[in-house]
Structures are given as structure tokens and as C-alpha cells.
Amino acid sequence: MESEEKNKKLSIEETKAKEAKRTAFFFSFMQKAFFANSIKETYINARKKLAGRLSGEILSKDGKRYDKEQAAGDIKKLDGAYKYFLTPVFAVIKELSRRLKKEIIVLRKENQELRKEIDELKQAVANLKSDLEEKEKEQKTAALNSEQDNAVQSINAKEAEENSDKDKETINEGKDSSLEETAEKEKSQHENIELKSEKEESDSEKAAEKNSSMPKDNESKNTEVQPEHHENIIPAHKENVAAEEKLTLVKPAPPSINLKPSTAEKPVPPPPAQPKKIPVKEHKYSKDDIVEIGIYPYEEDGKMRPIEWLVLETYKDGTALLLSKYGLDSKPYNTDYVDVEWAKCTLREWLNRSFFNTAFSAREQTGIVVSDNENQAYDNGNAVLAERSKDKIFLLSHEEAERYFKGDGARRAKPTPYAVQRGAYINGNAGWWWLRTQGFNQHTAAAVSLEGAISTQGRRVNSDSETVRAAMRFNLNLIK
């Protein structure tokens, strides 16, 4: 960080020193030029006086004529002194003017480099903004998804708890009912066993009484009394075990559902709602009207103003072809001096990226229709079709500039003060503005002149004194 701050300070000091040198050089040049002009004026005035003495028009204080030979000698001396003094001065002025021209060229190059850096910074800022917006959208969507997932998980957890509680209740109810049933069975079995044992005792007592009253002959036959077998009697502890093994979970009966069809007539459901068709509005604008869309620097200090657009043509779908009323900025057709078509020039890239993101809001950007443009180039002096381009923002072709304007006067355009401050040439109330058609000569592009005439011979593609009149197809129904 410290090294970067030092480098910044050094660069600032270097630029200040350069500016001081340039101002000193300029003032010295002006002083010398003024000195040379003053000497020239004194020489002309003195020579007039000597010429008047020689011709006799100017007399001495005594009213006498000056000596002609003396006057001629004075003229020769004056001419010699003029040549002796002013020749080196004019040589110095020439050298200074040459150096001044070099300085101007250097300043122009530096100015172009600064413009490129500014454009790159603007593009970087626009890209950062778009990246930040995308990240914010992603974060918002992720937060919404996580909230939805948490809500679903909590609902599922609650449902699981409720179901587990219901299962526990049903299990406990089944256990209680099964235990009560086993207990009742055990009681009934015990009672049956007691009754049977009482009956056996009473039967045995009766049999003994009979045996005692019978003759002794039959005693040998009845000595062995066969006990009755109670095969159907099951011990109580075995019944308990069986009852415990047969325990089953008793589930509550499902609620009864009345499946009988109702005699009342069911209401007919309404048909599904169809999406509303948005009709194309008939906007109030027509050819040669002015509309305001977007903002861009207008004043010399970069103050923004709404962009005024000229309606060139309207279409049935509610869109219109628009052209900016003024030359909005000063830009070269292409930064490098090469033979280039519209589809590959740097001006097209700037219009569809930096200018598009800077001049229009998100709502306005949705109203810009992508245009499929046909382009023209030249091959050995013959007009040929160039590569087509799909542009949001573009320039008019030379054919469109002829079609949409009645004459040269209607094509004349004034650069904004911001464009003039950026280097646009202006004469009177008009300036040059670019067309997208390639120029007839190599390394050129067509343009409209100060008088409004179309120059198909073209201007050098790297010239930055021409202005940009942007064009686009826009949905006018979005304008409030």
C-alpha cells in the first residue's frame, strides 16, 4: 500500500512538472512573438517616415526638405538593421512553433489514452454492477430456498411427532384391553374349576354312601373306582401364557365414510382462467416527433440530461425507429487505423455495451428491440454485402440516411457541448456524424458532413472529431 501511494504521489508530481513546463514554454513563445510583432510595427512606421522625407512629403522643423541622399541612406540602414535583428527572431519563432505542434500531438495522444482508460473504467464499473446484481439475486434465491426447506422440515417433524404419539396411544390402549380380557378369562376359569371340584366331591360322597348300602359281593367289583378324566380342563398358568402370546395391537377403527351419492346437484366448476392478451397500444407518436428516453452527459462539465430522439419510422407492433437528435459524443469509428467493417469496429462494441448500460435504465432496456441489420462494404471499388449484425444500438446506413431525410438540411446535426469538449469538430451549428456503412476508400467509414451531405468516400476510421448519433428500435408503449 505504501509503495502504491508513493507511486501515485510521484505520478502527480510528474504531471504537475510537465504542465508547468508547458505553460512556461507557451508564455515564452507568446512573449517572443509579441516582441517580433512590435519590432515589425516600429520598422514599418520608421520606414514610412523615411520614405516621406525622401519624397518630400515630410519636412523638417524648419520647413525645409530633407536631403534625399541622407534619407535613402537612412532607409538602407533601417532595412539592414531589420534583417539583422528579425531574421534570428523569426527562426526562433519557427522552431518554437514546431515544438509547439509536437506538444499538441503528444497532448492529443495522451487525451486519447485517457479517454480509453475512462471508457475501460466505465465498462469495468458496469460489469461490477451487473455482477453484484447477479450475486444479490443468487443470495436472495438461496435464502428463500433455505427458508422453504426449513419450513418443510419443521412441518415434517411435527407430523412425525404427532404420528408417533398416536401410535403410542393405540399401543397402550391395545395392551390395556388385552390385559383386561386375560384377567377376566382367568377369573372365569378359576370359577369353573372350583365348581367342578365341588361337583366331584359331592359325587364321590354319594357314591360312597351307595357302596356302603350295597352287598359285600359287589365290593370286589367296585373296589377299583375309575376316576373321571377332565380332558377339557386347562391349567390356569398355561392359559395365562397362551393369552400373553396371543396379545395383538388393537388399532382404532377408521372413520366411517358415507359413500352414498348425494341427491343435490353439484355446482359446475368455472373454466380455468385464460391469460389476458395484452393488446398493442396505438401510441400517439408519429414521424419527426421528439421523444425523451434515457440520459447521457450533455453539458461541458458532464451534467446529465434526457436524450432526445427523432422518430424516423413507426411500425404496427408499437415500436419505432429512433435517431438521437444531437451528436451525443465524440468517438472514432475504430481505434486503430485499419480496414474494418461495422460488425467488427470498436464503435459498435461501445454502443452495445458501455453506452447501453450507461444511458438506459433496466425498464428502458427491456423496450429496446434487437435489430438484424444489413451492412455494406467495398471490395476493389465495388459495393458488396458485409457481415450482418444484430444490434441493440447502432448507426444509420448511408441508404437509411438518404431514405429518412428529405434533404441535406434535414440531415445536419449539432454536437452537444459535452461532445465538443470531448473533441468533436463544430462549425457554426453543425458537425460531422458517423454512418455504419464502410467508406469507398480503404480505412474509412461513411459520414454526414457539416452541410448534411452524405460522404461515401468516407472519413478516416481513427478520426475522433466526428460525433455519434445513436439509433435504435424502441417500444414506444413503455413511454409514460
| pLDDT tens-place values along the chain, 480 residues long | 556 665 656 566 676 666 666 566 555 555 555 566 666 677 777 777 777 777 776 766 666 676 777 777 777 777 777 666 666 776 777 777 777 777 788 888 778 888 888 888 888 888 888 888 888 878 877 777 777 777 767 777 777 777 777 666 666 666 556 566 666 766 676 666 667 666 776 776 666 665 555 544 444 444 343 444 444 444 444 444 444 444 334 444 444 444 344 444 444 445 444 434 334 445 688 899 999 999 999 999 999 999 999 999 999 999 999 999 999 999 999 999 999 999 999 999 999 999 999 999 999 999 999 999 999 887 776 778 889 999 999 999 999 999 999 999 999 999 999 999 999 999 988 999 999 999 988 799 999 999 999 998 889 999 999 999 999 999 998 886
What sections of 257-324 are H helices per DSSP?
Answer: none
440 secondary structure, DSSP code: S
The sign one gets for the Cα dihedral 439, 440, 443, 449 is negative
| Contact assessment for residue 254 and residue 180, using Cβ atoms and an 8 Å cutoff | no
Query: Is 421 buried (19+), middle (13-18) or exposed (0-12) by CB count in 10 A?
Result: middle
| Residue among 382, 437, 453 at smallest CA distance from 445 | 437
Region of 381 (left: φ > 0; alpha: ψ -120 to 50; beta: rest) is left
3-state secondary structure of 253: coil
Say if pTM beats, i.e. exceeds, 0.85.
no
| Contact assessment for residue 289 and residue 305, using Cβ atoms and an 8 Å cutoff | no
Which residue(s) pair with 378 in the sheet?
A: 383
* Phi and psi, residue 340, nearest 5°: -135, 145
CB atoms within 10 A of CB 49: 15
CA pair distance 29, 23, nearest whole angstrom: 10
CA pair distance 474, 42, nearest whole angstrom: 68
